[in-house]
Amino acid sequence: MGCLPENYLPPRELWPQKIYTLPEFQEYPDLLNATEELIDKNVLEKGMGNHVAIFYEDQKITYRELMYAVNRLGNALKDLGLGECDRVIIRSPNVPEALIANFAIIKIGGICVPTSPLFSRVELAHVANNAEAKAIFCHVGLMGELEAAKDNFKTVEHIIVIGGNPAEVKAKGYIPYGELASHPNKHLEPVRRERLAVALLLYTSGTTGLPKGTVHFMEDLLIIADSFGKYCWRVRPDDVIGGPAPMAFAAGYGVTAVIPFRFGAAVFLLPKFTPEDMFEAIQKYNATIISVLPTAYRKMLQVPDAEKKYDLSSLRICTGGGEALGTKAFFAWRERFGMDIYEGLGSSEMGFVFVSNTVNMRAKPGSAGQAVPGYEIKVVDEDGRELPPGEIGRFIARGPTCTVYWRPYEDNGALLKKQKEVNFNGWNQVGDYVYLDEEGYLFFVSREDDLIKSSGYRIGPEEIEDALAKHPAVRDVGVIGVPDEVRGQNVKAYIALNEGYTPGPELEKELIEFCKDKISVYKLPREFAFVSEIPRTPTGKILRRILREWEKKARGEA
C-alpha cells in the first residue's frame, strides 16, 4: 500500500480471505506492473507487435503502436507531476484514448479511476473528492457535467480533454489530449509495484446512494484473465472480443482493458450501444466473443430479420450478466441465431465474473452457471450452515479477489460497518439470495434488499418478472414488495406496455391468469402499476430503489 494513508483501506483482518488455488496465481512476481504484463510483453517477449490490439471504427491499432502511445502519454503525465499512487479519473465512452490513458496511468504507478459516463455533477464531484483525484481525462462530449462540477473539486490539478478543438480546449484552461499524446519520448520504464498495491478503483453504480469505491489490486488485473479468460472463454490470440459496457463497470473493464491483452487477442470498442451498431461491429470486426448486457440482447432481438441481414458466423461465445436474461430472451436468441447466451454473475466489489455458464460451456436457462475456476461458492442459512441443493439461502463466495472498500472510515465509518458485514467467516457475502442445483449451477432469487416476504414465504422478484415478460403486452417489468397489513408484503408489478395494449383491470386479470402455470400461486402479483419506462442502471439492473420511492409517493408517505 506504501504511498497511501493507512486508513484509506480497511484493516487486513476485515478483508475476506484471498485464496490462490490455481498455479497461475502463485507464479506472479512480488513486484509487477499490469501494463507491462498486458501490453509490453506481447511486443517485447512474444513477438506480437504487429498483431492488432484495438479495432475502433476504421482504425486498427497494433500492439506496438499501442505500447508507444501508452509510453508517450505516460511520459507526459510524469511531466505534469503525476506518479505512484496518484488517482486519475477517466470520464469517457470506450474509445482508444481512454484505453491508452488507463494503461499509461497504471504504467507510471498511478491508480486508474474510470467513472460512468452517466454520472451527474453531484456524483462526479463526490467521486473526484473521495478518490482525491489529481487529474481527470474527460471526453469532450461529456464535459457539460464536469464543468458544472469542477468548482466543487478539492484536489484536481489537471483536466485533460479527449477530442474537441485544441485551441478552444486550451482557452478554457484545460489540456488537449493530443498535446500529451505527441510527447517525443516513446520509451517508458514501468513502475513495478507490490501484488497488493492498489491499481484500480471502481465505483458502484449508486443504486442505494452515492457511489462507493471498491479497491482492486495490481494482481487482480491479471487474475481476471488467468481465471475467467483462460478457463471460461479460453481466449486465443486470434480472438476479437468486445461489448458495449463502459470501462467504469467491472464487466466492461475486464472485457475492454484486461482479458484480450493477456492473450495477445484484439478488442473492438463500441463507444455507444445501439442494436444495429452492435450487429454491425460483430460483422465488421469478425468478433468471436461478445459480452452484452441482457437488456441489450433483448433490444437486439427487436431488430427485424437481423439473423438474415448480418453475418454473425465468426461468433463462438455470447455471454452476458448484470441482471437476469430471462428464459424468453434465451430461447428467442437460440432460435434466431443458433447460439446460446452464457450468463454469468459477478460484482464491482470482486472485480469480475466469478460464476458462469461458460465453465463447462453448457448453459442452463435461468442459471448464472457454476463457480469459475479459482473460486468457491456456497449457499448458507442465517447461521452460516451450508444448505443442500434446492434450498434458498445467502450466497457467499471466495477466491483470489475479494471485497475491499475504499476509505471505509468516511461518513462515520459507514463503509467500515459494511466491510465487517461483507466478511462472512472469511468468505465474501455477496448480498444475494440464491440456490444451487445438484450440479452446482447457481440460480439467482433476489438481492437481499429486494427479497419479498409475504405470508411467511420468501419471494424473489426476478422469477415473477421473467414470467410476466413472456406476455406479449409487456415491454419491460420491475417487481417489488409493498406493505400489506395481513401478509406483511404483497407482490407489486410495475409494467411498461407495448403499443396497442391498454392498462386496466381486464389486463391485470389477464396477466395473473397468464402467470398461473409459470409461477406458484403465492408469488402471483396482487397489485399493478403501469408506467412509461422501468428505471434501470447503465448496466441494465432495475433500480428497485426508484420503484420503492414511487410506491411511497403513491401512498403519501415521506
CATH number of the domain bearing residue 161:
3.40.50.12780
Co-location of 426 and 533 in the same domain = no
Kindly state whether residues 414 and 457 are assigned to the same domain.
no
DSSP H/E element including 68: helix 63-79
Q: Whose CA is closest to 135, among 50, 74, 65?
A: 74
For 119-200, where are the alpha helices, taking DSSP H only? 121-131, 143-149, 166-171, 177-181
Give me the mean pLDDT over the 156-167 stretch: 98
In percent, the amount of the chain with pLDDT more than 70 equals: 97
In a domain, 129, yes or no: yes
Question: What pLDDT sits at residue 207?
Answer: 47
CA–chain centroid gap for 315, Å, is 22
- The rounded Cα 59 to chain-centroid distance in angstroms is 26
Which one, of 45, 105, 99, lies nearest residue 75 by Cα? Answer: 105
**Whole-prediction pTM value?**
0.85
pLDDT in tens, 204-236: 865 445 789 999 999 999 999 999 999 999 999
C-alpha cell, 2 = 506504501
Phi, psi of 487 (to 5 degrees): -90, -10
Burial group, residue 475, by CB count within 10 angstroms (0-12, 13-18, 19+): middle
What is the tens place of the pLDDT at every residue in 413-465?
889 999 999 999 999 998 778 999 999 999 988 777 777 877 666 687 888 99
Residue-number span of the structural domain to which 180 is assigned? 6-436
Domain boundary among 436, 463, 480: 436
Do residues 70 and 35 touch, judged by C-beta distance below 8 A? yes
At residue 463, the pLDDT reads: 83
Over 70: is that where the pLDDT of 78 sits?
yes
Domain at 507, CATH number: 3.30.300.30
Does residue 104 lie in a domain region? yes
Separation between Cα atoms, residue 73 and residue 86, nearest integer Å: 15
**Residue 112 sits in the same domain as residue 18:** yes
Is 441 inside a domain boundary? no
Query: Does 493 fall in a domain?
Result: yes
In this structure, are 349 and 297 located in the same domain? yes
Number of H helices, E strands in the chain: 21, 28
Same domain, 425 and 507: no
The reply to whether 150 and 85 lie within a common domain is yes
Task: Answer whether residue 183 is part of any domain.
Answer: yes
Q: Is residue 547 included in any domain, yes or no?
A: yes
Quick check: 28 pLDDT over 50? yes
Mean pLDDT within 34-63: 98
Q: Same domain, yes or no, for 86 and 224?
A: yes
The answer on 127 and 77 residing in a single domain is: yes
pLDDT, one tens digit per residue, over 284-316 is 999 999 999 887 898 899 999 999 999 999 999
Q: Mark whether 232 and 285 lie in a shared domain.
A: yes
* pLDDT for the residue 539: 67
User: What is the number of domains present in the chain?
Assistant: 2
CB under 8 A, 24+ apart: contacts of 142-150: 142/91, 142/92, 142/93, 142/117, 145/119, 145/120, 145/121, 146/91, 146/121, 148/121, 149/121, 149/122, 149/124, 149/125
In a domain, 539, yes or no: yes
Residues 524 and 413 in one domain: no
* DSSP bridge pairs for 380: 386, 394
Contact between 52 and 65 (Cβ < 8 Å): no
Q: Are residues 216 and 77 part of one domain?
A: yes
For residue 318, the SS3 value is strand
Asked if the structure places residue 446 within a domain, the reply is no
Residue ending a domain, among 408, 436, 464, is 436
Helix/strand/coil (H, E, C) string of 24-45?
HHHCCCCEECHHHHHHHHHHHC
Beta strands in 145-287 (DSSP E): 158-162, 175-176, 193-194, 198-203, 213-217, 240-243, 266-269
- Compute the radius of gyration of the chain from its Cα atoms: 23
pLDDT computed for residue 59 by the predictor:
97
- According to DSSP, residue 73 is labeled H
| pLDDT tens profile 356-370 | 999 999 999 889 999
pLDDT for position 486: 67
Residue 470 shares a structural domain with residue 431:
no
Domain boundary among 407, 436, 465: 436
Please state, in angstroms and as integers, the Cα–Cα distance from residue 443 to each residue in 168, 319, 389, following that order.
Answer: 53, 16, 11
